[in-house]
């Protein structure tokens, strides 16, 4: 199986999954809308325990916890610098020496935009290998030269603070549906269809 067929299979499976999820959501919306139209009191009595607010913030906290490795890098700077130099050498040899653009283009069926993206990615990896080698050499020989730039750029930016407004429960739709259940059910039925 070549890469084009694999990418096509992934795209097809993704579209089928998206279609199935949307179809199931529409079916559940249709059932809830009809239920609201026919028996709103029974609907609210049955679903009263279901209406709970779940915050993702506690579950995502471990992703927001910074893990500092500077102490290890500075203590074992020869090992860290050597590993960075080995990684840079591998990337350098692969993308500067062994990379065969024509063979890759034969395996991947790409449009002009895809070829442009492929060439740009290879260029970034080539330049990145040189940058990794420079940082590895600095870490290996004189890690103290990196402390000043590292203190300026090594700041933690929390996305949880930016997502906090999305975590606020706004029960406006719930109160509207409880005040006008049949209209809410009709809207749900129309949108589901």
pLDDT tens-digit readout, 75-86:
898 999 999 999
Task: Label residue 50 by pLDDT band (50, 70, 90).
Answer: confident
The count of structural domains within the chain is 1
Instruction: Give the helix ranges, DSSP H, for the chain.
Output: 3-38, 40-46, 57-60, 70-75, 77-92, 101-107, 112-141, 147-153, 159-163, 172-179, 181-192
Residue 78, domain member (yes or no):
yes
CA distances from 73 to 86, 120, 140 (A): 15, 31, 10
In a domain, residue 38? The reply is no
d(CA 187, CA 180): 11
User: Is residue 51's pLDDT more than 80?
Assistant: no
Position 173 pLDDT exceeds 90? no
pLDDT band at residue 60, thresholds of 50, 70 and 90? confident
Residue-level pLDDT at 81: 93
Terminus-to-terminus CA distance in the chain, angstroms?
40
The answer, yes or no, to whether residue 6 has pLDDT greater than 90, is no
DSSP state of 11: H
| Residue 104 CB neighbour total at 10 angstroms | 14
Q: What percent of the chain has pLDDT over 70?
A: 94
Stated pTM of the model? 0.51
146 in a structural domain: yes
| Helix or strand run (H / E) with residue 153 | helix 147-153
Q: Which domain holds residue 84?
A: 67-155
pLDDT band at 1 (very low <50, low <70, confident <90, very high): very low
Inside any domain, residue 46: no
pLDDT value at residue 2: 59
Inside any domain, residue 151: yes
Which of residues 33 and 67 earns the better pLDDT score?
Answer: 33
Mean pLDDT (the chain) is 84
pLDDT number for residue 21:
92
Lookup: tokens for 189? 């039925």
Domain membership flag for residue 28: no
More confident residue, 183 or 53: 183
Going 85 to 87 to 89 to 91, the CA torsion angle's sign is negative
* Domain contains 185: no
Q: Answer whether residue 21 is part of any domain.
A: no
């Amino acid at each position: 199986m070549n890469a084009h067929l694999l990418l096509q299979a992934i795209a097809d499976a993704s579209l089928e999954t998206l279609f199935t999820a949307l179809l199931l959501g529409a079916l559940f919306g249709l059932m809830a809308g009809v239920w609201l139209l026919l028996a709103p009191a029974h609907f609210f009595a049955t679903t009263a325990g279901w209406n709970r607010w779940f915050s993702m913030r506690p579950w995502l906290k471990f992703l927001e916890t910074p893990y500092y490795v500077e102490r290890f890098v500075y203590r074992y700077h020869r090992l860290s610098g050597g590993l960075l130099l080995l990684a840079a050498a591998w990337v350098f040899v692969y993308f500067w020496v062994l990379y065969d653009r024509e063979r890759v283009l034969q395996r991947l069926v790409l449009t002009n935009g895809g070829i442009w993206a492929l060439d740009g990615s290879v260029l970034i990896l080539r330049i990145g290998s040189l940058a990794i080698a420079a940082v590895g050499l600095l870490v290996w020989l004189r890690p103290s030269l990196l402390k000043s730039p590292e203190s300026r750029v090594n700041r933690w930016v929390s996305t949880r603070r930016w997502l906090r407004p999305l975590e606020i429960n706004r029960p406006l739709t719930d109160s509207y549906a409880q005040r006008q259940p049949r209209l809410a059910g009709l809207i749900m039925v129309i949108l589901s269809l």
